Structure 1
């Protein structure tokens, strides 16, 4: 992991390096790659500036731009009709620009890792694009392959990959084109909010440059080097696009994505345009320049793509090959389990199972939430999966539909309410019965619904649940909307929405891929991969190494009676080794029953409550002074 000081150094050098082609001879080796990256960005801009008007076509006073963003599903002729709609403007020689999100999520992408989107992006004549968050869903190795297969540049102007010293995803920092009578500069900006949610990218291994600062610096540079106008391709929420428009006077036009809406706003005398989603719409933007001037008037036409457009026959034929590939992909081996997985409805809808535990652990690691509650109806195979190779067919049997995930915030009291709903129909084989991770609970099936959860035995990680404390819970969007009786989720604040979360099937695929990376079974050698270990397990280990089990809020520690000893710091290498052991354990693929869900009799309930009381009486809880910060070990 890059140290804070190293990242600060990268960040501090950004401004000077963008503006200079001179590389100091005394920079560190770690900085040289970043220097080269930023130097190349500056050289790219200067190359545009050196081009002369003799290389341009005859001046024209009108430029047509076609813009689209956030496209996912190519089936049912949507993509092929979209191409036909785009082609109707071929006579105007349009500049086609894309604002990110194509490779995921969709059911077909789950099987092809987004390969089916490449011929579409190429066929519509895309000239330049910015990366979207979902373009990273399958990891950098897959993204690199997709970028190589497209015939246009991708931009990432304000995020550095610390491992390579280049733009994240091997994108370009800037791009410029000579279009009719004008020179057009392009930059690609993203927001930090979604960058921090990427399951396949290690946030400690990237350096983020604020989009306003990057926009100001790069736009100024492009204008100085001869660009007539600068267009920012963005993948950000509208408030950040509006902030960019307000703060960056020299940007002429903002073409955005990420928000799945069609929207046109004017801020600081510049247009912000978002062009819908999923091949349903695109924008035709006409720039009309006054003769001999860089000033222009703009008109925006919203183009709706529906059945009035015939599907392009050539693209339709090309996309058919991907549907034919599906059957072959079904036998692809994702990983190998050392134990059988129990997905039988009679078990998974009434009790804890190792399949439910494993799936929920994957969600917990991918979302970095405190806990997971998943309705068992999500897991559809209704069979025992034997130990041995686990294929895409097995995955599709278990999770046959696209299931977006989300993270919400709940109080302890609301979590208990959700659990009460989950066990309310027991012993009926209802899909609302929960499978969980990061939480353990016990319930009395003989009591009336709504009074079955033993509240004093609910634990979040190592700590007993506190009714008024707030916790981050990962679940499906389906449940967040109140389905299956989980109405308590409907009003919960959304911490990470489905747009910034992985789809469940993809999270599982990424887990297998992370194991391969961990074991050195892929070509990629990178720290960027989905986590194999949940944060709760990491925190449990850290607390254990710091001085014993935790049995209360973070500032409290459990000490043996009559012991005044202060836990010694655990050396960093010991901590790292122990975390490595956790990851190695996850690679073994041996999920098991862990008493996350306990079915109580009245007597067993009394026994467990008495055991809890004894554990408290045998120890004393004292405030810990001089709390050791985790940074001390980094």
Structure 2
């Protein structure tokens, strides 16, 4: 039955470009012209090519289809007589305890076992530091590619811009493209030297046109090398907050890419057809996140292209299952240790939504309150911040294990406390609120203060070319800030607790605290901060004070002018 379902998907892909939704005036078949080397006759496949793809797995090694399912699917396609390539589009090594405890190496081991052929980098590939990223790259049995991850001193790509796989003489190029917002979506200090000068970039300094040109140059180089097809592996996403560097905008400003396999926004896109700079339709696809589905791009012997998603596949490769089980056994006992309990559900998603709607990046939640309270309790600060992007998953009521805490705070950030003026705190709140009601990983959950976001006021935050805070040049949408029950005093000095990612390393673009006086410097890892607060501050139980999913009224959105 399982094999029949895959065969049926292949038939659908062949017949009408599965999941493409054509406009009324367009034919149902996605007609895409492959990129051909300029002076060569096109080579021909002697059997169909299936390109399996994953994105934003975030350490979910056995959820959804799971890596053992990916391995089984790959083998089934090989047994059915197809050529098969397996690619990943970034954010694989971070997101759960299996990544945190091994600093990514367990994930690379599993990807090697499954047999990946090529990958591009997401912003979270850098979460364990630049040196560790290079170590992980060297551990991989497959190349990481990125056309726009560059050494600023030389201007040269840090990684190969693309790799070419050959099937019966047919050359398929895989061009890597990384989000230009990687620096602020990871830890800016990792891309700087010891003096705070940026030494790595993502072709963002000169604006979107320069970025598109860098990608186009890689595509042209691959075509000149004889590529018959060009597949872009893009960790860009489709969210408005990623503009002007979304995958759709990349397609619209380039030529000669046949398929864009995307990531970063966790979007489910079976197949969209986006016009490129020449008006040719390019297929765009993305699988969502955490192996809830696996993508398959299909190139037939006659050159037809199509994409689709596979989510109903239960078969597992026994060797891969055993390999993952062996790794999991190494830290299972630690993860299952009960460290506290909760009488209430603690959330980052809107309760009752299906699919789940994340709210921790644009509104207050009870888990956001709890995490911020933990920083303030441990440090004794007047005020504490936690970025919404650093609070990663719900905690259900009942026993809380160490593994669950790591899932909430998987990054290994360290508690710090600084002296900060009221004006710096106000600027930080404005920076975090600039995208509301849209999501922003830098949205601030708070403790020790309350504030309003007047969303009818356009954001006047100015960022530099790296996405770092420069200034607020107009009316503040953040108003009525109260600290300890008193109005914020811009000239007063307060103590502010958060983590090194935001205070020291300009994470999410917060530059205003880097030169401040640090009263506490990297004293405790984030997950231990949360555990200690629940155990010592709450006597081991998260109680009724945190019962309301939308928090305690610390952050109020005002949508219309009073």
TM-score for both structures, normalised by structure 2: 0.54
1:266 partnered with 2:277:
no
1:99 partnered with 2:89:
yes
1:108 partnered with 2:114:
no
Whether the 8 Å contact between 1:482 and 1:489 is mirrored in structure 2 is: no
Whether the 8 Å contact between 1:63 and 1:288 is mirrored in structure 2 is: yes
Whether the 8 Å contact between 2:299 and 2:305 is mirrored in structure 1 is: yes
Matches within 5 A, 1:107-256: 107-162=97-152, 167-168=157-158, 171-199=159-187, 201-202=190-191, 204-209=198-203, 210-238=210-238, 240-256=246-262
Moved more, 215-224 or 485-494: 485-494
Task: Give the secondary-structure state (helix, strand or coil) at the position aligned to 1:245.
Answer: helix
Whether the 8 Å contact between 1:63 and 1:180 is mirrored in structure 2 is: no
Q: Which whole-Å deviations, capped at 9, do the CAs of 1:312-356 have from their partners, x for residues lacking one?
A: 2211221123223226988xxxxxxxxxxxxxxxxx979954446
Whether the 8 Å contact between 2:95 and 2:407 is mirrored in structure 1 is: no
Whether the 8 Å contact between 2:72 and 2:316 is mirrored in structure 1 is: yes
**Shift of residue 298, structure 1, vs aligned partner:** 1.6
Give the alignment partner of residue 87 of structure 1, picking from 43, 68, 75. 75
Matches within 5 A, 1:578-589: 586=521
Task: Give the secondary-structure state (helix, strand or coil) at the position aligned to 1:94.
Answer: strand
CA distance in 1, matches of 2:104, 2:382: 25
Partner in structure 1 of residue 307 of structure 2: 300
CA 1:154–1:354: 2 relative to 1, 3 Å: same
Q: Which whole-Å deviations, capped at 9, do the CAs of 1:55-97 have from their partners, x for residues lacking one?
A: x998526322222211121146832233223322113121222
Whether the 8 Å contact between 1:187 and 1:231 is mirrored in structure 2 is: yes
Moved more, 251-260 or 463-472: 463-472
1:74 partnered with 2:61:
yes
CA distance in 2, matches of 1:163, 1:437: 34
Q: Which whole-Å deviations, capped at 9, do the CAs of 1:514-565 have from their partners, x for residues lacking one?
A: 9xxxxxxxxxxxxx9788x984444557xxxxxxxxxxxxxxxxxxxxxxxx
Partner in structure 2 of residue 34 of structure 1: none
CA distance in 2, matches of 1:175, 1:476: 33
Partner in structure 2 of residue 326 of structure 1: 331
Q: Which whole-Å deviations, capped at 9, do the CAs of 1:37-70 have from their partners, x for residues lacking one?
A: xxxxxxxxxxx99xx99xx998526322222211
CA distance in 2, matches of 1:310, 1:469: 48
Task: Give the secondary-structure state (helix, strand or coil) at the position aligned to 1:88.
Answer: helix
Whether the 8 Å contact between 1:80 and 1:315 is mirrored in structure 2 is: yes
Whether the 8 Å contact between 1:61 and 1:289 is mirrored in structure 2 is: yes
CA 1:105–1:468: 2 relative to 1, 3 Å: closer
Moved over 6 A (4+): 327-330, 348-351, 435-439, 464-469, 473-483, 485-496, 528-531, 587-590
How many pairs align?
375
1:288 partnered with 2:277:
no
Relative to total residues, which structure has the larger helix share, 1 or 2?
A: 1
CA distance in 1, matches of 2:304, 2:169: 15
1:276 partnered with 2:282:
no
The runs of 5 or more residues in structure 2 that have no matched partner are 1-35, 193-197, 204-209, 276-280, 336-371, 468-496, 526-562
**Shift of residue 161, structure 1, vs aligned partner:** 2.8
CA distance in 2, matches of 1:275, 1:399: 27
CA distance in 2, matches of 1:275, 1:481: 29
CA 1:160–1:539: 2 relative to 1, 3 Å: same
Give the alignment partner of residue 472 of structure 1, picking from 421, 427, 432. 432
CA 1:184–1:75: 2 relative to 1, 3 Å: closer
Matches within 5 A, 1:526-565: 535-540=511-516
Moved more, 141-150 or 463-472: 463-472
Moved more, 126-135 or 309-318: 309-318
Q: Which whole-Å deviations, capped at 9, do the CAs of 1:156-192 have from their partners, x for residues lacking one?
A: 1112134786534xx2222112122411222111221
CA 1:476–1:110: 2 relative to 1, 3 Å: farther
Q: Looking at both structures, which has the greater relative contact order when contacts are Cα pairs under 8 Å and sequence separation is at least 6?
A: 2
CA 1:491–1:325: 2 relative to 1, 3 Å: farther
CA distance in 1, matches of 2:403, 2:379: 13
Whether the 8 Å contact between 1:280 and 1:305 is mirrored in structure 2 is: no
TM-score for both structures, normalised by structure 1: 0.48
Whether the 8 Å contact between 2:416 and 2:521 is mirrored in structure 1 is: no
CA distance in 1, matches of 2:254, 2:283: 13
Partner in structure 1 of residue 321 of structure 2: 316
**Shift of residue 245, structure 1, vs aligned partner:** 1.4
CA distance in 2, matches of 1:244, 1:467: 32
CA distance in 1, matches of 2:312, 2:498: 33
CA 1:357–1:155: 2 relative to 1, 3 Å: farther
The runs of 5 or more residues in structure 1 that have no matched partner are 1-47, 291-295, 331-347, 383-392, 406-434, 440-459, 501-507, 515-527, 542-581, 591-634
Determine which structure has more spread, i.e. the larger CA radius of gyration.
1
Task: Give the secondary-structure state (helix, strand or coil) at the position aligned to 1:97.
Answer: strand
Whether the 8 Å contact between 1:65 and 1:284 is mirrored in structure 2 is: yes
Whether the 8 Å contact between 2:88 and 2:116 is mirrored in structure 1 is: yes
Whether the 8 Å contact between 2:53 and 2:295 is mirrored in structure 1 is: yes
CA distance in 2, matches of 1:147, 1:80: 22
Q: Which whole-Å deviations, capped at 9, do the CAs of 1:186-238 have from their partners, x for residues lacking one?
A: 21112212333321533622233243111221212222232212111110022
CA distance in 1, matches of 2:260, 2:183: 20
Task: Give the secondary-structure state (helix, strand or coil) at the position aligned to 1:285.
Answer: strand
